[in-house]
Amino acid sequence: MRLIFILPLLLATACQGNETVAAYGAGNGSWQLTEIDGVPFPARATLSFPEPGRIAGEAPCNIYSGRMDAPYPWFEAKDLAVTRRACPDLAEETTFFEGLSAMTLSEISGDTLILSTPDGREMVFTKDQP
């Protein structure tokens, strides 16, 4: 009897990763940050979903990668690994990572990805053109 209840749960969990991959367009390029909390972002920063459960991208100074296990529409950047290059845009980089770490929800509409928090913070990304 327990197997009957466990099997649907296992199948639903296995499919969540694929839904997340499809929703974010994993393997299909990256998203470029255009604004944080309604203010245009002055430096280049990207976010991509290279495979299920992974995020990666370029911050204003460094390259990063991490985990993102939450199924769409939830968002949670975890275990970020970041290179350690210095550059004039370190303040923007700090703003980027603080924002990315705070985001909990995501919404995709065409070529726009919006990450947000329940208290109204937002990061707006557009599909990065190759």
Q: Which domains are present in the chain?
A: 2-127 (2.40.128.270)
Residue 127 — pLDDT band, cuts 50, 70, 90?
very high
> Quick one: pLDDT at residue 11?
36
Question: For residue 53, what are the CA distances in angstroms to 17, 20, 56, 110?
Answer: 7, 8, 11, 22
Q: What is the DSSP letter of 89?
A: T
What is the rounded average pLDDT of the residues 32-36?
Answer: 97
Instruction: Measure the CA–CA gap between 85 and 68, rounded to whole angstroms.
Output: 24
> Quick one: pLDDT at residue 130?
63
Work out the percent of the chain whose per-residue pLDDT is above 90: 67
- Res 27 pLDDT > 70: no
What is the rounded average pLDDT of the residues 81-91?
Answer: 92
Compute the mean pLDDT over every residue in the chain, rounded to the nearest whole number.
Answer: 83
> Quick one: pLDDT at residue 21?
46
Closest CA to 69 of 51, 96, 48: 51
Instruction: Measure the CA–CA gap between 48 and 70, rounded to whole angstroms.
Output: 15
Residue by residue, what is the 3-state secondary structure of 44-56? Answer: CCEEECCCCCEEE
Instruction: Measure the CA–CA gap between 34 and 90, rounded to whole angstroms.
Output: 17
